Amino acid sequence: MSNKLSPQQLDFYTRIDEILYYKWDPIGVSDGYWSRDEYQSYLPKVYKLAMENDQPEPVAAYLTGISSENMGLPENQKRDMTIAKLILYIKKGLRINEVQD
């Protein structure tokens, strides 16, 4: 991520990275560290979509597109929607979009 992130934003970015690797993991690589960076190229776009949206559909659609179009896997919209909702739940819990005093 080339832009400077606040500590709170960096925490959210890191959490999304963990979610993509350990929870989303469409090709099943999270059982070994050798592929830890497997999904990191998608991280900036997922983060951007999560920051710009309060609804999970844009994030879920992007994840579905990655796994089906880029990876050639069958669509798993249910999994992708679950992951998108989790990401936005964490965003809400971190209160990322609230004005800081």
With helix as H, strand as E and coil as C, how does the chain read?
CCCCCCHHHHHHHHHHHHHHHHHHCCCCCCCCHHHCCCCCCCHHHHHHHHHHCCCCHHHHHHHHHHHHHHCCCCCCHHHHHHHHHHHHHHHHHHCCCCCCC
- pLDDT score of 98: 64
Using one digit for the tens of pLDDT, what is the confidence trace for 26-68? 999 998 777 888 899 999 999 999 999 999 999 999 999 999 9
pLDDT at 12 over 70: yes
CATH numbers and ranges of domains, the chain: 7-94 (1.10.340.20)
| pLDDT above 50 (res 70) | yes
Quick one: 70 exposed, middle or buried, by C-beta within 10 A (0-12, 13-18, 19+)? exposed
pLDDT at 100 over 50: no
In this prediction, residue 101 carries a pLDDT of 39
